[in-house]
A and B are shown apart, each in its own frame.
Chain A
């Protein structure tokens, strides 16, 4: 029984960075913008958090830097997609590449050194994920701005006609998504594995995007999704003695593909939960 509880708690802990990143992506996609650069923004966050924490000796400042880095990167995405109305998918991908590249570039030389003062794991961080999920839920469904944001994602023309500034709402939403992605990466490098390695996020950003999809863009269901994946990651770690480690590492990704397929298959063509205007740049005056 203790073992199960311990596994559950570890899974929750492992899943928290996923949850943070997924919640941010949910907010962004609910406003109608896809951000495929989450992985790169997480890496940027991880690097800046580590470097700042190492220099200043404060992991909290590190997290702050991580959030800032992620937000700035996301704002570039917002500039390209919302103001310039370019293809959201490719823009996100491109930014992800840039983010990963910059993190890798600047990160040279920081590798291998352990962090001076790390953030204690578990309880605080895990709780933060659950609290954030509740806050996002409350915001989306029970506040005035939440209605505005969801409307922008469903029908930007309707929101625009009511005087809601579509570019502003989308930029803020995307910025928030970058912020959480940065923090999620920051958690990895100042708490979970207090160190910096190139590519240390290992595709978690993509899994977070997948969680966004199969949790139906709902912040509460995202908790369940991240829990599931936290478990998969944790198990793959634990079973390393039994099964070849590389094969185990495949498990979370295969699991994500399976989950994605099952959920879209289950919903069939009535993909009712997708925000209607997702992925489509908005031009005023065009229907």
Chain B
């Protein structure tokens, strides 16, 4: 119990649902304010910046498709990470898993002898598989030898990035343009269909939304989801209940890696139609996915609005690049600040705030049982 001036903060283990939304909103406002400070340091007035963002994203109906197309990979990665984090599998390697998916899609599109009707499903399947595999390796290292997955997944991002660079500069090198290296363009049959007039590749969008729904059903209505939740929160109790950590960790890794892989397929086959240098394929979706997952507060369906929000952030990066000549990097600042404020506000989630300006007389006890869970006996 802490007191800040006239406000009393009490621990509340079961707050009402709307409180979480309030806290998140508060965090977002905080992040935007801090970001404004950064703009000011760069030499751009925060008010101008936000006006430009608003006009370029949600106030402009033509901008909506762009927001949606940015949302697609964020939704896939984010939902996967919600599941992974729920299982306490700290997958920071979504960036590399996304690249793996893109590589798989490129491989299938350019080099496989499949009939054109099967190309798209094959790319998606291959992308999922390779992404899942890229995440399975750190999972295996953790299960077998206890290597902490935060570092291993993350280091594999760099390996994947250099791998893509090697492919693009080496064996898969296509015609280069303006000094940038690319692979050949995919055959038309390997292009993901888009909604008319936009860049929204709808198969992956559908997969994303479907995955979010699937994730929800999985966590709350299946045996595996139950085991994931128990294992994630209390590994001791999970052992007790006979839950195999290998099963849950592996499931978390495969699902999150595979989802990121699908996102990679979407980018390679839906947007660029070729494999490019890693920074242009991924643009930080892997890390932003962490923000999506955190903002979703553990619920896969929550990833949908979160991904949309981050989609707005990414689109504002584009907008600010054009209108204010700010580098796209500004999205990293946004993402990082949002995550920081979200994390900092997490303890508030299980707190109740009461307005109590004067020291009031303590109410008599209801009598009986000790006190709430985290107390000690006297």
Contact = CB atoms under 8 A, between A and B. Distances in A.
Interface of A: 36, 40, 76, 80, 84-87, 89-91, 93-102, 104-106, 108, 198, 202-203, 206-207, 209-210, 213, 244, 246-247, 249-250, 253-254, 256-257, 260-262, 264-265, 268-269, 271, 286-287
Contacts of A95: 336, 340
Contact of B340 (A85, A98, A106): A98
B285 interface: no
Given A86-B345, A101-B335, A265-B145, 5 more contacts: A93-B92, A98-B337, A104-B327, A244-B169, A246-B162
Interface in B146-165: 146-148, 150-152, 154-156, 158-159, 162-163, 165
Interface string B334-361: 1111011001111100000000000000
24 contacts: A80-B340, A80-B343, A84-B344, A86-B343, A89-B90, A90-B339, A93-B92, A94-B337, A95-B336, A96-B336, A97-B332, A98-B340, A100-B336, A101-B335, A104-B327, A105-B330, A106-B42, A108-B329, A209-B151, A210-B155, A249-B162, A262-B145, A264-B147, A265-B146
Contact of A97 (B41, B339, B374): B339
A271 B343 contact: no
B146 A98 contact: no
Given A213-B151, A246-B163, A106 B41 contact: yes
Contacts, number: 144
Contacts of A244: 166, 169-170
Contact of B332 (A84, A98, A256, A260): A98
B333 interface: yes
Interface in B162-201: 162-163, 165-166, 169-170
A246 B162 CA distance: 5
Contacts of B347: 84-86
A203 B170 contact: no
Interface residues of B, number: 48
A203 B158 contact: yes
B326 interface: yes
B170 A260 contact: no
Given A89-B150, A90-B294, A90-B343, A105 B156 contact: no
B209 interface: no
Contacts of B145: 261-262, 264-265
A90 B163 contact: no
Contacts of B290: 90, 93
A285 to B, nearest CB: 8
Contacts of B148: 213, 260, 264
A89 B333 CA distance: 18
A198 B284 CA distance: 14
B252 to A, nearest CB: 16
A257 B169 contact: no
